[in-house]
A = this chain, B = another copy of it.
Amino acid sequence: MPVFNVYLPAERFTNAQKYELSQALPQALNDALDIPADDRFVILTEQTAGNLYLDPSYMGMNRTDNAIVITVLFTAERPFSAKRRLTRAICARVSTVLGISPDDVFIALIPVPKENSSFARGELQLVTDQP
């Protein structure tokens, strides 16, 4: 179910890197949570400098012009331990494929209950005992 939205600085990463990024994110789901690697729904959005403002140092980080934001529509029912494994795996995979610092990877997990996701056909496939 996770859907990734990644906001990247425009014209900074190659097409090959963007493709690798689209693979790295489901790989992180697999690393952290054993989610099948074909659960792959990734939306990239490229932002010009005038349309992206990420503080360079908030929370003691050293963010650069490479900094990105990743939001993830993520199963609300997962515990904290799963979230921490996932954000660690995302940061590790993404910083590697994009060649950026771990300080440049901001992640927010947006909770979405299982019963709120339709993979297609208008059905809510993750609810197995539907009334």
Considering the chains assembled together, what is the distance between the CA atoms of A98 and B40 in angstroms?
Answer: 23
Considering the chains assembled together, what is the distance between the CA atoms of A84 and B124 in angstroms?
Answer: 7
**C-beta contact mask, A63-88 vs B, less than 8 Å → 1, else 0?**
10000010101101000110110011
* Interface contacts beyond A41-B69, A45-B45: sample of 15 additional A-B pairs, CB < 8 Å, sorted by A: A1-B108, A38-B55, A40-B55, A41-B55, A41-B106, A42-B52, A44-B51, A73-B108, A74-B116, A80-B127, A84-B124, A102-B122, A104-B120, A107-B118, A110-B110
Stoichiometry, as copies per complex, reads 3
Residue A22 at the B interface, CB < 8 A? yes
Q: Is the CB of A122 within 8 A of B51?
A: no
CB A37 to nearest CB in B, in angstroms, measures 9
